Chains A and B, each alone.
Chain A
Amino acid sequence: MEKFEKITGLVAPMDRSNVDTDAIIPKQFLKSIKRSGFGPNLFDEWRYLDHGEPGMDNSGRPVNPDFVLNLPRYKGASVLLARENFGCGSSREHAPWALLDYGFRVIIAPSYADIFFNNCFKNGIVPIVQPAQVVDELFQAVETNEGYQLTVDLAAQTITTPEGKSIAFEVEEFRKHCLLNGLDDIGLTLQHVDDIRAYETQRKQGAPWLF
Chain B
Amino acid sequence: MAGKTLYDKLWDAHVVRTQDDGTCLLYIDRHLVHEVTSPQAFEGLRIAGRKVWRVEANLATPDHNVPTTKSESGARAKGITDPISRLQVETLDKNCDEFGITEFKMDDIRQGIVHVISPEQGATLPGMTLVCGDSHTSTHGALGALAHGIGTSEVEHVLATQCLIQRKSKNMLVSIDGAVGPGVTAKDIVLAIIGEIGTAGGTGYAIEFGGEGIRDLSIEGRMTVCNMAIEGGARAGMVAVDDKTIEYVKGRPYSPTREQWEAAVANWSELHTDDGAEFDHVVRIKGAGIQPQVTWGTSPEMVVAIDGRVPDPAQQSDAVKAEGMRAALAYMGLEANTPIKDIQIDKAFIGSCTNSRIEDLRAAADVAKGRKVADNVMLAMVVPGSGLVKAQAEKEGLDKIFIDAGFEWREPGCSMCLAMNADRLEPGERCASTSNRNFEGRQGQGGRTHLVSPAMAAAAAIAGHFVDVREI
Q: Interface residues, chain A, CB within 8 Å of chain B?
A: 16-18, 20, 22-23, 26-28, 30-35, 45, 51, 54-55, 83-85, 88-93, 96, 111-115, 118-119, 122-123, 172-174, 185-186, 188-190, 192, 195-196, 199-200, 203, 206-211
Contact = CB atoms under 8 A, between A and B. Distances in A.
B439 A45 contact: no
Contacts of B88: 31, 33
Contacts of B64: 30
Contacts of A196: 16, 25, 27, 53, 161-163
Contact of B203 (A113, A174, A199, A208): A113
B84 A17 contact: no
Contact of B200 (A27, A84, A189): A84
Given A55-B84, A118-B151, 10 more contacts: A23-B441, A33-B43, A45-B445, A93-B40, A93-B153, A114-B203, A118-B154, A192-B16, A192-B17, A209-B261
Contacts of A208: 260, 263
B20 to A, nearest CB: 8
B355 interface: no
Interface stretch (B102-110, B125-133, B272-280, B358-366): B125-133
Nearest to B21: A173
A34 B37 CA distance: 10
Interface string B195-208: 00001100110000
Contact of A207 (B39, B43, B204, B264): B264
A115 B200 CA distance: 12
B320 A17 contact: yes
Contact of A89 (B91, B152, B153, B437): B437
B84 A54 contact: yes
B220 interface: no
A91 B16 contact: no
Contacts of B91: 33
B166 to A, nearest CB: 9
Contact of A122 (B128, B153, B299, B445): B153
B71 interface: no
B19 interface: yes
Contacts of B128: 210
B293 interface: no
A114 B233 contact: yes
Contacts of A118: 150-151, 154
B157 A185 contact: yes
Nearest to A116: B151
Nearest to B85: A31
A140 B36 CA distance: 39
A130 B19 CA distance: 26
B12 to A, nearest CB: 12
A16 B39 CA distance: 32
A211 B55 CA distance: 11
B156 A186 contact: yes
B260 A189 contact: no
Contact of B135 (A18, A23, A91, A123): A91
B442 A22 contact: yes
A63 to B, nearest CB: 16
A30 B40 CA distance: 11
A36 to B, nearest CB: 10
B440 interface: yes
A199 B230 CA distance: 29
18 contacts: A17-B320, A22-B418, A26-B441, A31-B84, A83-B320, A85-B233, A90-B135, A91-B150, A92-B151, A93-B153, A113-B200, A195-B17, A200-B162, A203-B27, A207-B264, A208-B260, A209-B255, A209-B260
A112 B235 CA distance: 12
A17 B324 CA distance: 8
B165 A185 contact: yes
B19 A174 contact: yes
Contacts of A34: 39-40
Nearest to A51: B445
B23 interface: yes
A55 B84 CA distance: 9
Contacts of B441: 22-23, 26, 45
A89 B417 CA distance: 13
A23 B235 CA distance: 19
B87 A23 contact: no
Contacts of A188: 165
A121 to B, nearest CB: 9
- Which among B153, B420, B439 has the greatest number of chain A C-beta atoms within 10 A? B153
B2 interface: no
- Which among B134, B137, B154, B261 has the greatest number of chain A C-beta atoms within 10 A? B154
A22 B439 contact: yes
A34 B44 CA distance: 10
B346 interface: no
Contact of A33 (B40, B54, B234): B40
Contacts of B54: 200
A88 B233 contact: yes
B29 interface: yes
A23 B440 contact: yes
Given A22-B439, A190-B160, A114 B235 contact: yes
Contacts of A90: 134-135, 418, 437
